[in-house]
Structures are given as C-alpha cells and as structure tokens.
Structure 1
Amino acid sequence: MDALLDPRFENLVASMPQSVFVEVFHLLSPTYFVVPYREIHQPIHPGAAKLKRYESLDSIFYEFANNLAAVVRIRRSAGHVLGLAEYTHLLDCARSIGDALSADFIWHRMTEDEVVPDVTCYNYYMEAKVWDKTYTGRERYHTRMTPYAYRHRRFLTPNVGWQGYRTAERSVRKEVLQIFNKMTEQGYHGDETTFINVMLASSRVGHMQGIKNVLKVAWNVDVDALSTHADQSSVSPATHYDRSSPLYPSSRLLFAIAHAFGTNNDISAALRAIEFISTSYEIPVPDTVWLELLERSFVLSRHRFGPDAKRDAKGKVPYEFVKGIFETMTSSTFNVRPTVDMHRILAKTAWDQARLSEFHRHMRAAYELLRETRKKRRTARTTIEAYLGGVSSRSSSRRRSRIDPTALQSRAFAEAVHTYDVLRLRAFQQTITIERLARLLILHKRWTGRDNPVWERCLLPQVLEEWQDFLPQSFEYRTKGGQVMLLGKTRWGQRRLTVHNRVPVRRPTAVNGVELDEEAMQMDDDFVWARYLRSNPDLNLNFAPLKRLFSGVMQRTTRQHLPVYPVVPQSEKLDDKAGELSDLSENEHAGTQGNAQEQQEGETRGAVAGNFDMVLS
C-alpha cells in the first residue's frame, strides 16, 4: 500500500502490465486492512474509542477506501481500463466495510465499462447491501428487527443510527432479490454465499418465511418441522451435496442462521437449525457462531421499556437460557474457550440477578484474559524495540537510539508493527471492558439485599481496593447512613482513570489472594513510546509504519484537566445512568454519543462513495 501510494513510484504503478497490477492490487486485502479492526471494534462503543484517542472504525474504513481510490486514480490516469479482477476486488472491499453506496457506484462504472460480472461480483454486491452501515456508529446497535426498528428504517430521511439498509418501499430485501434475479437471468446459478445473502436480506425486514424458504429450497432444512419434532431422525434429511459442490454448507451458513434468527427474536429456531445442519453435513460449530448465539440470547433476555415494550419483548428468554448456552459451548463436547466479550455478557446477566460472586467470577476471568493479551503485546513490542535500537522502560529518556534506516524499510518491520498494533487495540478493548464492569460493580446497590449492610460496610471497600486501577479517584455512592463522596484527580469521562503511568492491574486485598508480580511495575506502552519520541525528536513520523506505531500516543499520555467538583453535579449522575444503560443494552441502546459525531461519520461514508464515483468516472 505504501509503495503504490508513494509519488516516486507513480510511473511504475501506471506502467505495470495488467497481470502484474492485478496481483499487486489483490494484495491490498480487507482481510489485512479492515477485518481485524472490525472485529475488535465491535464491542467498543464509538464514544469510548474517541474518548481514549484511538482511531475510530469509520476513519479506518475511510482511509482504506481512500487509499484504494488513489491507486485506481493513478492507474486510470495512464489510460488503463479496469477489468473484472479489479472490479471484483473493489466490490470485495466495499462489502467488507458495509458500504452499499460505494458498491452502487462501482457497479455502475462496471456496467459502463462493459465488464460482465460473475457470481462472485453479484455476491459481493448483495453482501454490501445486506451489511450496509452495520459495522460503524450507532447502526451496529440496531440490527434486531422490531416494530420500532422497522418504522425507523422506513423513513424517507432516517434518523441517526438507522441510516443503513431500509425497509418497506425501499426494502433491502427487494434490492437483493432484484440483484439475484438479474444474476439468474444472466445464466448464473447461486452458491452458498448467494443464498446466505438472500436469507439475510429477508431477516433485515423481518420476513421470517423468506428465511425459512431459503433453507428449505437450498438445503431442505424445514425449520418448522424441527420445532415440532423433538427427534431429528423423524424429519426429512437435508439435501445431499458433494463436498465440492458450491452449495455444500460451511460455517458461514451457521453464522448466518444464528444472526438471522437471533435478530428476529427466535434464538430457539437458530439452535435447532444449526444443530441439524452441523450434524447433517458434519460441520463443527466455530467460536464465532457460539459468540453470536450468546450475544443474541443476551439481547433477548434484556428487560424492555417504553411504549413499544410489549411488542419489543417478543422472543424474550430467561437469564438461565443465556447461561445454558455458555455452559453448552464451554462443555467438553464443544470446548469453546471463553473470550472477554463472553465473560462480559455473563457478568452483566449476573448483575441483573444481583449475584455478586458470579459477577466477580466472570470479571476476574476476563481480567486474566487481559493479562494474556498484554503478555502477547509485550512480546510484540520487544520485536519492534530491536528495530528501534532498544526502547527499555528503564532507560534514560535523554538517550538517543541508534536506528538502522534500512531495517525500518523492511517488510518484516511493517509486519511487526501490524501485529503489535492489532494486539494494542485488543488490549485497549479488553481494558475498557474491565473498566465498564468495575463501574457496574460499584453502581449496584443491592448486591446483598435491601437491608443487609455487609455490601457497603465490608465488600465495597474491598472492591474499591482490588479494582482501584480501573476506577477513577472521584465518584460517589449512597449508603444507608448517607452519601459517600471520593474526590481525586480523575473522574469518569477522562482518557486515563489512573494517575500513574503503569499498566492497570488487579490489586491484592486481605481476602482475594492476589499477589503482585512484575507486571504491576511495568510502564504502560503509551508512556514507553511517548518517552521514546521525546528522546528521538528527529524521527520521521511520515514513514507509514512509524506513523502507525506512534499514532495517538502523545494524546493518550496527556492527562485531561477536568474540574473536580466537591459535589457531583446532576449532569454527571445522568451520565452515569446513561452509561449503565449503554452497558446493559448491547445492540439496543446507543449510549451517550451525540448526533454531531454520527452526522460527521455519515458525511465521511458519503465522501468515500463520492471518491469511488469520481475516480471511476
């Protein structure tokens, strides 16, 4: 990517033979540039990334799309016409970022250039429609289909958070079926991905019969029959396909079923269909499918409120159902290793039930996974330090490092930075999860019941001692004897909640059995890199890997100076409640982000599509 965008190599890019350019262009894969960040950002609220000064997912998508557009611009300026391979890759990139508008522009230019699309092109185009704007902003919280959601998606000018795929007259299902019909008119037969897209398009508008019809026609999976017959052997068998057949199902179909039925409030049907297909075609259920099932069942277990509460409660499952899925996936049969996100879901379920020991068990398990990630991050950082002449946290800040410029321009260094950057972002995601859980832990007022003082007198002080690194120094809580106000240098809403520059760790108390190790004395990575920058002021941060490595470091290590109030104002109390709702209503509540940021993100996505239109025209 860096080489293709370098002005010095424009002539090389413009003069490459077509076959060579196609091979190079395909190396700019969304699997490398987009997918890792998309998965890590999924459980992070956009406001959290902005607050902590990490690059937003929207900006990552925007940069990737703009870079592709710049490469295409150079190529077309030399008189070259894009072929099927290049257009296929552009559609792949558009669907990976969930940008239907860009896909429309690419498809239009493809038609003008008289390039005949194949099945892969049609599949990418349909997928861009189905996942339009579902990865970024508040849209990611609004994939569940309810009467409320259907109304908001049918508006001519949708509100913030509902600006992706549409319903009613401009239904995404109608769009996808039109593309599918055009594909069949061209003589193409659909494959597994094709039918998955048609099925998901039906799920986006709540057309349950459409979902079931696709499964019945393509694989002879009768969802209704599975629900009425406890024994699967009494149901007609699934269609037999050779493993080489394009319709032989894979884990992609299992995920699509979990997502389609889960977002349409029928998690039981999802479980039955997944079990039937997994058994019939001998497909192991991957961790991503289990996580989707767990998350969808968690959403369906939430308490509903508001004027649409009764209708929105459709498909509601008990808390024990959520725990049952977790116990099944972690059993010896499936042996799924829980993630931090899974523990977050189970901890929130325990929070609703006021089960302190259960909540703390999942929170501590999530913290141990954070420690593993930080260990991997330290190993990746050590690799980069070797290229930068040593960046020991104990070294003098005045010592300049001896850097080999040739080594920094190697592919190995760029790969090391990429590996480290992904681990750094994952550590941030997991750290902010522990901060959210710590906040929930102290917000609960009835862990031990209404009148039992053991929580506020004994357990809460231990909690504050154990998780102090994940809590601000200033907050308040109520007791039966009155209000307790803790005043310090940090508050909720600041980038860093600690006043020290070391990694936040779980602290020992008289009862938790924790022993501090060397990790508690290690300097946080951002402070290590900030000191390195100060000791090497001549470092060329325009060089792409170094720019990526040091991006946001100085902002994240600069403490915000917010006023410390002797009494927490009413606005802070409202923010606490909003944060609580945001944490407890995953994929349902947008948190506290303002419309201004969402509007800006919408304009950014529009600019991406405009770039493709301008470049390809």
Structure 2
Amino acid sequence: MSSLLVRLEAIESRLAIRTRPRTENNSLTWRCWRCRVADQGIHTRNSSTHASPEHEQALSASLKEPIAFSGPQEGSQAPSLSRTSAILNGLAAHTITPRTTISQPAPLSAKDKVFYALRNKQHKTLLKVFLEASKDEQFIQSIPPATLTEILRMLDPDYFVEPIKELHEDLSTAYVRLLGIKPLDVEVSEYMRSIRRLTRIRRRANHPLDLTDYTFLLKCARAVGDSEAADGIWLDMMRDKVQPNTTCYNYYLAARCWAGHAHAGRRHKLRVMPYNMAMRQTAEPLPGFEGFRVKRQGIRSTVFQMFNEMVQQGVQGDERTFTLLMTAMGREGDMDGVKSVLKKAWNVDVDALLKAADESTLAPVVPLDKATSALYPGDDLLFAIAHIFGSNNDIPTAIRLVDYIARQYEIDIPLRVWAQLFEWTFVLSTPRSGERRHDGPQIGQLPLASVSQLWETMTSPPYNVRPNVPMYNRYVKNLYHRQMLGQMLARMEEGIELYSRSVKQFRRASNKYRKTVVAVRGSRNGQSRAQRKQAEQESSLPIESLRFHYEMSRLVRSRNHQMVRRWMRLLLGGRRWSAGPNNAWERTVLPDIIEKWRSFMPERIEYNTSGGRVEFDSRPEDAESKTSQTKKQKDSRKPHKAVRKEESPSVE
C-alpha cells in the first residue's frame, strides 16, 4: 500500500499547472508550479534552479518504469525518499521556455507624420496630417520657412485639380449626378479652402510668404478659375512688397480670363453672341455668366491694365502672356485686336493668309530659337487660337491658322487642340430650335457635314489623330441628326472598342491597388496595433499612388460607359430609321444590335416599328412579367384607347 501511495504522489508531482504570473520586470512568462508532498515533508525548489545530472538520470529512469495502480507485487520494494525527491527536482527543472516580451514601438508624433509624408511625396496624406498637426502651435513655430514652402508645393494643383478638371470638361451636370461623383466646383472649393488654411498657418508661424509661395498660390487660383482669390493674393503680394515675375503675371491673368470655368455648363456660354454679351453686362448676371464682365470694367480693360503695369515694371512677357491678351480680347469679340497681336508677336497676317492662294507669297513668320526664345509658339498658342476663333464663331479661320502656325514652327498639334476645334465645330453645326433660334446662335452657323469633314481631316495623314470617347460622342450625335445610320454604327463600334480599353485599364489599376493592399495587410499578421499603424504609414506611398490611378481610371470608365449608353438610347428613341427592303431594320438589324450590345441597353427597351410599338425588358427572365405589368398600367391610364403593340422580337 505504501508503494501505491508513493507512486501516486510521484504522478501528481509531474502534473504542471500552467498559469501566467508576472515577473519582476512585469513580463509575461510560463511557469511550472510543483505540488508539495506534505506527508513526506518534501518541498519543490525554485523554478530558476537547474537540475543536476543525477536529477535528470532519476527523471529518465522514473519515466521508463511502468506505473501500476495495484498493490505492491511480490518481491518489490517501496521507492526510497531520496529517489522521490530526485524525481520532483527533475520535474522542477523541466519548465517551459518563457515567452519573449514584444516591445511596443512608440506611435509616430505629428511632426514625424508630416515629415514622413513630405519625404515620401504623399500628397493627400501630407494634406491630412499637416492640417491635423496645425493645432500644435509649438510644432508650427518650429517648422523652418523652407519646409513650409515645400509643404505648399506638395499640394500642387497639377495633382489635386488638373486630372479631375480634365475629366469634368466633357461631363454635364446631369452626367455628374448620374455618375454619383462630386461636382467640379465642389472639388475645387474644398481644395482652395485647404490652401487658404495652410496659408493662414504659415502666417501664424510668423513666416512671411516669399515669391515662391505667392507664385504657387496664384497657380492654385488659376487652376480652379478663382479670380477673387487671385485678387486677394495679388493685394497680399503688394502689401508684403514682393515683386512679381512673369509667371506670377501669367497666373493672375489666366485666373481672370478663365474665371469660373470649373462650373459645368459654362464652356459654351463663352461663345460671343448678342445674348451672352447682354447677360454679362447686367447688374446681376444669370447663373453661368458670373465669371467675367464685358465692356465697361470688363475683362479686356482689366487684363490690359495689368499688362501695362507689367511693362512699366520691366517684366518681359512670353508666349503665354500674349495668348492671354488675345483671350481677353476674344472674350469681348475684339478679333481685330487678336489679329494685331498675332501680327506683332509672330508676324502672322491672318487676313492675308485667308486671301492667299499660295502661302509662299506671304511674309515669313518671325524666326525664333526654340531653346532660347520665350515667344517661341507651342501648345498654348495653338489652343488659344482654336478657342478664341471657335468661340467667336469662326472655325474655318481657326483650322487654317492652327495648321499654318504648326507647319511654320514645326509643332505637333496635340489632341487637346484637335478636341477644341472639334467641339466648337460640333457646337456651331448643331441646329437650334425654339427661342434659341432668335438669340444669335445663327452667327457662324456651319453645315452639319462640317463635323465629318473635320473628322476625316484629323484622322487622316499627316495628322493621324486618335480621337477619344468624348469626341466620338459628339460625332455620333452629329450622325444621328443627319440620319446616317451606317456611319453611326461604324463610329459606335470604334467608340465601344475604346470603352473596352478603358475597362482593361481600370481592371489593371484595380488589381494592382487590391494586391498591394492585401499584401500590406497580410504582412501585418501577428503585429501589435502600433506596428500595424507604422506599417500603414510606411506603405501609404504606393497605396496612395495606386489608389489615385484606380479612382481616375474608374471615373474614365464610368464616363465612357454612360456615353455609350447614350448612343443606344439614340438608336432606340423617337426616330424611325429607313426600314430597307422587307423592313430589315426593325426585323433584323435592330434585334441583332440589341443582342450584340445588350450590356449597354436600357433595362426597358422601347422603339417604334411600322406595325406599332415594341416594348420589352432587356433581361429575359423578367421580360414577361414586366411587360404585362407595364401594359396594365398604360391600359389603366388610357382605358378608352386601344393600344396596338407588336409582339416583342426574339433576341435569343
């Protein structure tokens, strides 16, 4: 019996109870607490005691022996007290390795976040963390002026404004609502509020703005078309006695000439015709006409007053300066002044060019060195000519001038210049109806075929322009008005191919962004909260850049998709195309188009035929139920009339 008790005590002593007590340095460890054999007066040693070789041998021997729960066998002897003590001491030495304590890194301070974002060129992150850190007066006071200047330059409108502005140029207010995105005027207003706040922070730190800072602020005002902000910045420059340079003058003049262009629907109100000019002279202009005024205290006199001041200060103008002078003249219809600037600056005689049958008889243009001359023409001059003459209802002169200057100075005509020419050609060729026929739009009216002529010119050698989806959108509308179904379908096919490319670009950008985010998150497994936070900050550079490309490609894809859907509605809505032999259009062609481009079709398809009106749901599974429901609703609204409908064509 004594043998059984001692063996049971040995078994109990091997059972380690795992707990998590705190050590002296407050770190977490695993310890093996040993039981006390009170009957034998045996006490366990401290867990830090190491087992001797004898203890290890005794432990090994005890584990090899079988444990019996019966009484002592014949010839057996009870284990000695010394052996039991050795077993317990061996178990005491057999402890679990303590777990390593994880050091918690200190979170980044506001100053560290700002300088980290600045060093890694994280534009949006820098704007966010700097505005948060601006609450710390001591931190703001400690930032050197050069660093504050660099922070301002990181918030460049070329990153925050220009890409969005370029995308919104072809979006109406209705399209913006349909896409569910912020209007451009809201985007630029938020951006300018941030810039003003950063400027106040700079002044609060008792760091006066220098020429570089004011140049950047004027660039921001020019990018968003905020003439009031440009006026305020200019007054601050004069108060701080900062002498503006050519770039400052150009930014200020551009903010004046392009005031309010960020608002949707204002581009075509720049067209010079009696109604628009009258609206810009009223005491309270209607929405869309607030950007600038004409005649008395108008845009022309304001810009020339600033130009005269520029000359008096001895500041030399460049190509952009003279293009802005011409733009201000063009805003008020002073085309003689525009031609005079072209003659004096580049020796381009517009009237002689239009009359000349042979360009070799014209006086040569001013020879300029592209590397050294500030007046050497480029994209700015070509775009200004396209815009000024186009908005003044003279597209033929605009096309002739752009082509002539580009050849004389060996300039490749960029896509944005062709897009400007094509847009004004479309505007001037579109017929007006209703009251709009009497407010002056007939000035400079072009034939509908002018759009096709310009399209053929720019897409053929030597130009070989590749139009974008907005240009296809205008051309498809023009062909629709001209009832040219064959060419319309061909251009739609090409436009849908461009849309497919934008979808592929979006998917590539989306995959890159998603994989980067997943990789960063996956690398944080097992990290503490502070370590994950630090990893997010360190990985925000590629994530921010990839997210920017992802968002822009998503907007381009959505814009293109809505334009293609608009083409489908033109095919289906209202107009009955030439049926052809045996009504081929309504019996064969249109059903094939619906089947081919089903993903772009509206959910409810309706169109007229020679035998009635066809209505059906583009989703086959719901077609029968929804068609019957629509029929019941129409019958209930008009019970006294019988609605004749043709059986829905099969699109299977």
TM bucket (normalised to shorter chain) is 0.7 to 0.9
CA distance in 1, matches of 2:582, 2:335: 48
**One-letter amino acid of the structure 2 residue matched with residue 339 of structure 1:** N
CA deviations over 1:160-184 (Å, ceiling 9, x no partner):
1222122222321111111111111
Q: 1:34·1:97 contact (CA, 8 Å) conserved in 2?
A: yes
Query: Which residue of structure 1 lines up, in the alignment, with residue 596 of structure 2?
Result: 466
Query: Which residue of structure 2 lines up, in the alignment, with residue 333 of structure 1?
Result: 462
Query: Which residue of structure 2 lines up, in the alignment, with residue 343 of structure 1?
Result: 472
Query: Which residue of structure 2 lines up, in the alignment, with residue 364 of structure 1?
Result: 493
For the residue of structure 2 that corresponds to 1:335, the secondary structure is coil
How far off its partner does 1:434 sit?
0.6
CA distance in 2, matches of 1:569, 1:126: 62
CA distance in 2, matches of 1:408, 1:369: 36
How far off its partner does 1:13 sit?
4.8
**One-letter amino acid of the structure 1 residue matched with residue 126 of structure 2:** A
Q: 1:172·1:201 contact (CA, 8 Å) conserved in 2?
A: yes
CA deviations over 1:500-523 (Å, ceiling 9, x no partner):
xxxxxxxxxxxxxxxxxxxxxxxx
How far off its partner does 1:308 sit?
5.8
Q: Give matches, 1:417-566, under 5 Å.
A: 417-448=547-578, 453-474=583-604, 476-486=606-616, 566=633
- Report how many residues are paired: 490
Are residues 1:196 and 2:323 paired? yes
Are residues 1:228 and 2:365 paired? no
Residue 372 and residue 351 in structure 1: after superposition, are their counterparts in 2 closer, same or farther (change >3 A)? same
How far off its partner does 1:211 sit?
1.2
For the residue of structure 1 that corresponds to 2:608, the secondary structure is strand
Are residues 1:113 and 2:240 paired? yes
Deviates most, 80-89 or 51-60: 51-60
Query: Which residue of structure 1 lines up, in the alignment, with residue 483 of structure 2?
Result: 354
How far off its partner does 1:220 sit?
0.9
Q: Percent of aligned positions with the same letter in both sequences?
A: 37
The gaps in structure 2 that reach 5 residues or longer are 1-123, 521-528, 623-629, 638-652
CA distance in 1, matches of 2:636, 2:293: 40
- The counterpart of 1:271, out of the listed 399, 424, 427, is 399
How far off its partner does 1:475 sit?
5.3
Query: Which residue of structure 1 lines up, in the alignment, with residue 125 of structure 2?
Result: 2
Residue 62 and residue 308 in structure 1: after superposition, are their counterparts in 2 closer, same or farther (change >3 A)? closer
Residue 458 and residue 111 in structure 1: after superposition, are their counterparts in 2 closer, same or farther (change >3 A)? same
Deviates most, 465-474 or 449-458: 449-458
How far off its partner does 1:374 sit?
1.2
Are residues 1:21 and 2:148 paired? yes
Residue 29 and residue 454 in structure 1: after superposition, are their counterparts in 2 closer, same or farther (change >3 A)? same
Alpha carbon RMSD of aligned pairs, Å? 2.8
Deviates most, 248-257 or 50-59: 50-59
What TM-score do you get using the length of structure 2 for normalisation?
0.70
Residue 564 and residue 128 in structure 1: after superposition, are their counterparts in 2 closer, same or farther (change >3 A)? farther
How far off its partner does 1:459 sit?
2.8
Query: Which residue of structure 2 lines up, in the alignment, with residue 157 of structure 1?
Result: 284
CA distance in 1, matches of 2:342, 2:575: 47
CA distance in 1, matches of 2:426, 2:535: 48
Please list every run of at least 4 consecutive aligned residues from structure 1 whose deviation after the TM superposition is greater than 6 angstroms.
Answer: 449-452
How far off its partner does 1:315 sit?
1.8
Q: Which has the higher contact order (CA 8 A, sep 6+)?
A: 1
CA distance in 1, matches of 2:424, 2:581: 35
- The counterpart of 1:297, out of the listed 388, 410, 425, is 425
Larger C-alpha radius of gyration, 1 or 2?
2
Q: 2:261·2:291 contact (CA, 8 Å) conserved in 1?
A: yes
What TM-score do you get using the length of structure 1 for normalisation?
0.74
**One-letter amino acid of the structure 2 residue matched with residue 283 of structure 1:** I
Query: Which residue of structure 2 lines up, in the alignment, with residue 413 of structure 1?
Result: 543
For the residue of structure 1 that corresponds to 2:449, the secondary structure is helix
Q: 2:127·2:155 contact (CA, 8 Å) conserved in 1?
A: no
Query: Which residue of structure 1 lines up, in the alignment, with residue 262 of structure 2?
Result: 135
Q: Give matches, 1:10-89, under 5 Å.
A: 11-89=138-216
How far off its partner does 1:192 sit?
0.7
CA distance in 1, matches of 2:306, 2:580: 59
CA distance in 2, matches of 1:296, 1:442: 27
Q: 2:573·2:606 contact (CA, 8 Å) conserved in 1?
A: no
For the residue of structure 2 that corresponds to 1:478, the secondary structure is strand
For the residue of structure 2 that corresponds to 1:168, the secondary structure is coil
Residue 16 and residue 231 in structure 1: after superposition, are their counterparts in 2 closer, same or farther (change >3 A)? farther
The gaps in structure 1 that reach 5 residues or longer are 392-401, 490-497, 500-562, 571-617
CA distance in 2, matches of 1:143, 1:224: 24
CA deviations over 1:327-362 (Å, ceiling 9, x no partner):
222223122222111211221121111111211111
Deviates most, 150-159 or 305-314: 305-314
Query: Which residue of structure 2 lines up, in the alignment, with residue 210 of structure 1?
Result: 337
